Amino acid sequence: MPVQKKEKGNILGKQFLVNDLIAYQEGAVVSRTLIDKKVGTVTIFAFDEGQGLSEHTAPFDAMGHILDGEAEIRISGQPFHLKAGEMIVMPANQPHSLRAITAFKMMLIMIRSEDKVTELVSEKGLKP
């Protein structure tokens, strides 16, 4: 299921409940990027029950914090059952996937290491 992205609104300097920033949509995965900087991103997701993201890798460690509901996150084939309030770090370059056991919301925090950013920029022939 493709991820539907919500438009980014300005949250800087504002108080809010994270769960109120994103809503479930039937049969969908919705994402909203809260912070998008060169050094990292903070994105929240809302997965409807049964929805997920297929196995993939990322070049950086990523911390997933379950805000609501329950999810199965597989890292290199090993399943982890996470509930609201729990989190897991998905190591860089290891295959992982997500599946909604119940509808769930997650905050994903990815910090890009400067070494990796430099390496990726070099591979693409870009200037940092």
Give 54-88 pLDDT, tens digit per residue: 999 999 999 999 999 999 999 999 999 999 999 99
Contacts of 78 (CB under 8 A, 6+ apart): none
Q: Are strands 40-47 and 52-56 parallel, antiparallel or unpaired?
A: unpaired
Predicted local confidence at residue 11, as pLDDT: 80
Alpha-helical segments (H) within the chain: 114-124
Query: What 3-state class would DSSP assign to 114?
Result: helix
Predicted local confidence at residue 9, as pLDDT: 62
- pTM listed for this prediction: 0.80
Can you tell me the distance from the alpha carbon of 115 to that of 50, in angstroms, rounded to the nearest whole number? 37
Predicted local confidence at residue 119, as pLDDT: 60
- Segments making up each domain of the chain, as ranges: 3-124
How many residues are listed for the chain in this entry?
128
The CATH label, of 2.60.120.10, 2.40.160.40, 1.10.3720.10, 1.10.150.120, for the domain at 3-124 is: 2.60.120.10
- Which residue is listed with tokens 């309030």? 85
Residue with the bigger pLDDT between 125 and 108: it is 108
User: Is the confidence at residue 117, as pLDDT, over 90?
Assistant: no
